[in-house]
Every structure is written in structure tokens, then in C-alpha cells.
Amino acid sequence: MALLVVVDDQGSNRRIYSKLASLVDEDASVKTFSSPFEMLDWAKTHTPDLVITDFKMPGMDGADLTRRLRALPDVAEVPIIVLTAYEDRSFRLNALEAGATDFMQTPVSHDEFISRARNLLRLRQQQQKIRQEARRLERRLWESETSRQKALRHGHEQLAQVIDTVPALISATNLDGQCVFVNAMFAVYAKRDPADCVGLKPSDLLSGSDLERNKAAEEAARTRGQVSPGFEERLLDPDGFPRSFLTTKSPLFNESGSLIGILTTSLDITEQKQAQERLRHLAQHDALTGLPNRTFLSNRLQEILASHDSSETGQLGALHLLDLDRFKSINDTLGHSFGDQLLQAVSGLLRPLCGVGVTLVRLGGDEFALLQEDITERWEAEQLASRIISALAKPIKVGQRYVNTTASLGIAFVGRDGSDVNEILKNADLSMYQAKSKGRNRYHVFSEDLRARMDEFAWLEAGIREALKRNEFVLHYQPQLNLQSGQIIGVEALIRWQHPERGLLMPGAFLPVAEESGLMPDISDWVLRAACRQLAEWRRRGIGELRLAVNISPSQFNRSKTWESLRSIRDEIGDDLAKLEIELTESAFVDQIEDAAGNLRLLKEAGVSIALDDFGTGFSSLGLAKELPIDALKIDRSFVCNLPHSKADAAITRAIIRLGHGLDLRVVAEGVENEEQLAFLRQEDCDEIQGYYFSKPLAAEECLQRILQQNSGGTSV
């Protein structure tokens, strides 16, 4: 059973590397240490098969730990992997000079980690097999003094046979560095017979040998009297192609214990290196476009931030986050295969825009990123963003078809707009969505003000969800008056939020957030239920002829949920809906007037009346008034506020009243706030009004008392 050791002072890292180490070999056992000192004490009485250590640890770094482990005879040749987040080559060199077998930069690819650890473990096992066989043969040499020479010859023959079957270049040299033995594979690479290699130096026989590292490893084996740490070198095969080898040096002793030479073993690790490189490439590149992926971007951002002195200020580059506008619609309409081709075409279009210092990345889906390094001025980032927006605004050829698509782009500056990778990505993402909210086909540069607004948005969104659960919303009711009788004939239900910290919030403070977050259907359903319960309560208290108007969001209505909600409410309260009026804006009917008309007929069959709210502010109001089964038009307050002084507003208001009466519809004016407005509307024969001139929105009980006061003979308009 293989024994793997993990040394890291961070508990989360120990858990991750321990889990990965357990996957290296199904029979492996893993032991972890939080302190390099504890591991060093343990290693004095135990021999691991593989050591995985962090570089930066308090009291003793990974290089120092490696150096001390190499001084222990039983651990001297154990493979050691050093992990670090630092990109600086000096750290790698320090670890390798200390005796590290391999060096990996974090965050590591899990597949690469397992592959490299597994390869080192196999090499360790092969080396142990060779040494065990050698020791077994040595023991046999001493079994009988009388047969010593015969056994020695036999052992040499067996050892030579074993060594010739090992997939490694093996040579034994004397103290002058001349070969006294080479195995079959070594001879093949030397392009000579084994006997012809004797007396020559390995460096004269093998092409590409790293003379300096071989010399250093041989010196280490001589002075320490133990196996040197392995090092990688590139040797040319018999056909002249370079291959990768892991080379170690072991001292050879005679019977009296005197050093007589060096045994060199070079294991061919070319396939393992190629597999590792493929894994590394796959882990950091997108399969569809061949571009670097999110992992690559995160690693590069981490490198930039790590190389930046935390005491310095300023920006180290710009991160552009790009999202194709309406890509989902193209994907759904033309198919995912076409969508993939479009993404490939977009990547091909963006590549020429990436000059020196700009890396193009595909993050996934229809999201791309451009990392623009070594810029100091904002205009440099904006100039690149403008080129990207302009390029993608033109039709893109995909196969035999041209596609119109645009892009929204957010910019965050590395170093200025975030001190870690996630924060920079988040801020670029916020900027990109801000560009989308401003109309798409544009870019937006991150600012602290945007972060504050987005934080407020997130805070409100979470609060709305909790408010729905905790029943924190309340309804206020604004009376509607009949202008002929001066009596209250209806009320409009208006939502308020009784916030536990901020007090009573008006709808303008939270409904835009609810709309953008997709929460309006839930709020509309709550309003509808609360209003219907209140209507039933008022009926029980003797006010049976009061009409109650409720605004329904277009998203709620278009999902055909209104009728389902009303049917559920009717069953719940056990009352009819004859005095309920649903108010809808024309955006609820855009592009689907036939479906909308069908939904409205269902509501009218249940006794519900329909009012077209904000009439006159859209582009299709006249057509809707003609085609839809509605009962009332509501004149928007934007036309009422300047009456009677604005000739344009007066003409529009007059026309709406005439149109409504011509179609046998009630006409209600919103936002009436003074006597002049009231007089104009009465003169033009408007049917009903509502506004602060008569009453602000009132709490339910206050509204009831107002109605009861009027019914008992109170004043009227």
C-alpha cells in the first residue's frame, strides 16, 4: 500500500490535496500534517512514497523542508511535489535546487495534479523494484563464501537481464566518469553495442544530455552517499527526436563500503509529459472556439495581482466582459448548432482586435472576456471597447446566412476595481448588465456608484422576497369619484411596503426592482388576493356597491395567471367578483392581442371589469381601445398635471374623453390635484376622477370611514 503525505498549514488546502491524493492510487493511504516540523519528526521513523508540500508555511518553507528531508537516508529518494501560488521562477529554482522532484503552481487542475502525482508514484515504485532486485541479488552473493564467485557471476547475469528489461537508460560509471556497464536501451540511444560504450563517458554517447545538471546530481550522490533528487532532461532518440527523461544518480559501493562509481537511471517520461500538457491545455481552453477559458483568465488575473505590490495603487490593466445581445433568441430560433457557429464566428471576428497585450477568452455560453494588460489610461480601455462594439454591430456571416447581433460590454480595471479575481469579475459583470439595462449595444465602465446601486438593488430584491414571506406589504386605497354625483363610487388599491427598518416605502422605491427581478407576478398575486379579501370584508360591513380597482403587471397577465388566481381567490373568499376591476397597461397586449383578448373575455365572464391604464402614453392605444373587451379608459396623470394651461394636453384629454364615450367606455382621470383641473374635466364631461385634490391613498379602515361618512350625508365634490 502506497503512503502519501500532504503538508500544508491551511486546513482547506489539506482537505483538497488529501482528497486528490487519495485518487492517485485506490490502495493509497494519505497522512496530513499542518506543520513541516511535525512532518520532519515523523519522517525520521517512517518512509512515505510521495510527499506533497506547500511552499509558503510559517517557520519553514517548502524548499527548506525538502532540503531537510533529503538529508534523511530513507527519504532521500522519495518524490517530492512542491505547490505554490507564486509565478516567480526563483521560487521554482529554489525548490528544485533543494531537491524537489516536481513543482506545480496553484490553483492546480485536479486532473493534472492526479496525473503527475500518479506518474511520480509509478517511477518511485519502479525504482524500488530495481533496488529491491539489486538487494536480493546482493544477499544471494553472500549466502555462501565457497560459491561466492559463481553466485556473483550468476547475479551479474540476472541483474543485467533485469536491467535490460527496464524501460530506462541505465549506466554505471567509475570514479573517472567512464562507463563500466550500460543496459540495452542505453546502447540503442548511443547507437553502439553495449561493449563499445565501456570506457566512454555518457555525455559523449547521449545527444542532448544536460551536462551541468548531471554533474550537480553526481556530486550530490557522491557527497551525500545517497540517491540524488531526480531532474528532467531532454535527450535525442535514435531518430533524432527529443524525448523527456527523469534522471537520478545513485552511489555504488564495494564490499568494504568504499565508493567505486555512480549508477545513472533515466526513465522515459515523454508520454506522461505530453498527457500532462494535453490535460493542462484542455483545462484552460474552450473546446468550441479554442480560446482560453475562465480557468485561464482566473489564473492570469491571479498572476497579475500576485505580482502587484499591495502597497502600490493604480490599475494594472482592464477586464472587458462581453455578452451577446439576444443570443438566446437566435439559439432558440435557428438551433444550437447554428448558435455554436455564431460563437465561432464572433471569436474569429474578435481575434484581430486583440493586439499586443490583449488576451481573448470565452467564459461560457455567449460570454467572452478580453484582458487588456499594461494600460494606465481609461481612454485606452474605452477605445478597445468602442472597436469591439462597432465590429459586432455589423451583420456577421454564419455559413450562408447573415446574422444581426450586438454586444453589451462591461469594463473593470484590474487593481483599481478589485483586489481579488472574483471581485474584478463581479464588477465587470455588474458593468456589463448596466450596459444591457441602458439599451444594449454599448459599454459601461465600472464605478463605485454602480456598486452602491447594485448593492441597493440586491438588498431590495432580498427584502422583497422576505416581505412576501412575512406579509410586510399593505394596501392603501385612493377613492374614485363620480363627477356627476360627487360620490365615491370606487377605490384603487395601491401597494405600500411597511419596511421594518425604513418605514413605509412607496411603490416607486421597490416595484422597479421587483419587475427586473421577476417578482412582479408574485406581488401582483398578493395584491389581487389582499384586495379581494378587503372587498369581501367591506361587503360584510354594508358597502356592497363599491368598485375596487387593482393594477396587474403585464408579466402576470401574459403568463395567463390572472384568471387562475381569481378563480382560486373566489373559492377562498366564497364571494363573486362583480365589483372587481382589473387595470392593465397596453404593454400587456403588445404582440399578442388575440391571446390577450381571450384572457380578458374569461375575466369579463366572471363579472370582472377591465380598465386600460395610462391610456394615450403608448403607440397602439387607439387600436387597443377598439379591439379589446374593455370597460374604461384611464387618462394618464402626465396629461392631467398641466390642465388646462397646456393646449396640447387639453386637446389630448378632450380627445380621449370623446373617444371613450364614443366606444361606450367610462373615462377616469388620474392625478387631479387642483380646482382648475377638476373644472376642466367636469366641463369636458369626464366620468370619474381620482387624485390628491380629493383624497390621498388611505389605509383600509380610514378609507372605510371616509366612505361611511359620505354615505351618511357628508360632503361631495
Say which residue the cell 356597491 belongs to: 545
The answer, yes or no, to whether residue 698 has pLDDT greater than 80, is yes
| Domain-located, residue 136 | no
User: What mean pLDDT comes out for the span 60-75?
Assistant: 89
User: What mean pLDDT comes out for the span 354-363?
Assistant: 91
Do residues 518 and 665 both lie within one domain? yes
Do residues 56 and 205 both lie within one domain? no
C-alpha cell recorded at residue 12: 482547506
CA distances from 662 to 395, 628, 637 (A): 48, 15, 22
pLDDT digits (tens, 9 = 90+) for 540-576: 888 878 999 999 877 767 655 666 777 777 777 666 6
What pLDDT score does 291 carry? 94
The answer, yes or no, to whether residue 244 has pLDDT greater than 90, is yes
User: What mean pLDDT comes out for the span 451-464?
Assistant: 86
CA pair distance 167, 269, nearest whole angstrom: 10
Do residues 424 and 482 both lie within one domain? no
Do residues 324 and 270 both lie within one domain? no
The DSSP string of 597-618 is HHHHHHHHHTT-EEEEEEETSS
The CATH number covering residue 65 comes to 3.40.50.2300
Domain housing 464: 459-711
Do residues 680 and 537 both lie within one domain? yes
Say which residue the cell 483568465 belongs to: 297
Please say which residue of 275, 307, 329 terminates a domain.
275
Rounded (10°) angle between helices 110-141 and 148-165:
160
Q: What is the percent of the chain with per-residue pLDDT over 90, rounded to a whole number?
A: 47
User: What mean pLDDT comes out for the span 81-94?
Assistant: 80
Domain count, the chain: 4
pLDDT digits (tens, 9 = 90+) for 289-315: 999 999 999 999 998 888 775 545 556
The answer, yes or no, to whether residue 138 has pLDDT greater than 70, is no
The answer, yes or no, to whether residue 539 has pLDDT greater than 90, is no
Q: Residue 230's closest CA among 243, 239, 221, 240?
A: 221
What pLDDT score does 592 carry? 65
Position 282, amino acid? L
pLDDT tier for residue 38 given thresholds of 50, 70 and 90 = very high
pTM attached to this predicted model: 0.53
What is the widest separation between alpha-carbon atoms in the chain?
A: 136
pLDDT digits (tens, 9 = 90+) for 186-227: 999 999 999 999 999 998 999 888 888 999 999 988 888 888
pLDDT tier for residue 162 given thresholds of 50, 70 and 90 = confident
User: What mean pLDDT comes out for the span 83-103?
Assistant: 81
| Domain-located, residue 62 | yes
The CATH number covering residue 480 comes to 3.20.20.450
| Domain-located, residue 327 | yes
User: What mean pLDDT comes out for the span 315-341?
Assistant: 89
Q: What is the three-class DSSP state of 118?
A: helix
Check residues 36 and 84 and name the one with the higher pLDDT.
36
| Bridge partners (DSSP) listed for residue 231 | 247
| Domain-located, residue 115 | no
> Are 639 and 662 contacting, i.e. CB atoms less than 8 angstroms apart?
no
Other CB atoms within 10 Å distance of the CB of residue 421: 19
Do residues 296 and 241 both lie within one domain? no
Do residues 463 and 405 both lie within one domain? no
Residue 25's Cβ-count burial label (10 Å; 0-12, 13-18, 19+) is buried
pLDDT digits (tens, 9 = 90+) for 359-389: 999 999 999 999 999 887 889 999 999 999 9
The CATH number covering residue 302 comes to 3.30.70.270
Q: Residue 385's closest CA among 409, 363, 361?
A: 409
What pLDDT score does 131 carry? 77
pLDDT tier for residue 713 given thresholds of 50, 70 and 90 = low
Secondary element (H or E) of residue 223? helix 211-224
Do residues 542 and 474 both lie within one domain? yes
Do residues 587 and 463 both lie within one domain? yes
The answer, yes or no, to whether residue 429 has pLDDT greater than 60, is yes
Q: How many residues are given for the chain?
A: 717
pLDDT digits (tens, 9 = 90+) for 624-634: 677 788 899 99
pLDDT digits (tens, 9 = 90+) for 251-288: 999 888 899 999 999 999 999 888 888 888 888 889 89
Other CB atoms within 10 Å distance of the CB of residue 45: 7
| Domain-located, residue 152 | no
Position 144, amino acid? S
pLDDT tier for residue 144 given thresholds of 50, 70 and 90 = very low
The answer, yes or no, to whether residue 25 has pLDDT greater than 70, is yes
Do residues 297 and 392 both lie within one domain? yes
| Domain-located, residue 150 | no
Secondary element (H or E) of residue 64? helix 62-70
CA pair distance 573, 182, nearest whole angstrom: 97
User: What mean pLDDT comes out for the span 161-165?
Assistant: 76
Do residues 183 and 66 both lie within one domain? no
Phi-psi region of 308 (alpha: psi -120 to 50; beta: other; left: phi over 0): beta
Other CB atoms within 10 Å distance of the CB of residue 590: 15
Please say which residue of 224, 241, 275 terminates a domain.
275
| Domain-located, residue 483 | yes
Bridge pairing between strands 609-615 and 580-584? parallel
pLDDT digits (tens, 9 = 90+) for 649-674: 999 999 999 999 999 999 999 999 99
What pLDDT score does 39 carry? 92
| Domain-located, residue 369 | yes
Do residues 84 and 172 both lie within one domain? no
Please say which residue of 423, 446, 469 terminates a domain.
446
pLDDT digits (tens, 9 = 90+) for 573-593: 666 677 899 998 877 776 567
> Average pLDDT of the chain?
87
The DSSP string of 35-71 is -HHHHHHHHTT---SEEEEES--SSS-HHHHHHHHHT
The CATH number covering residue 206 comes to 3.30.450.20
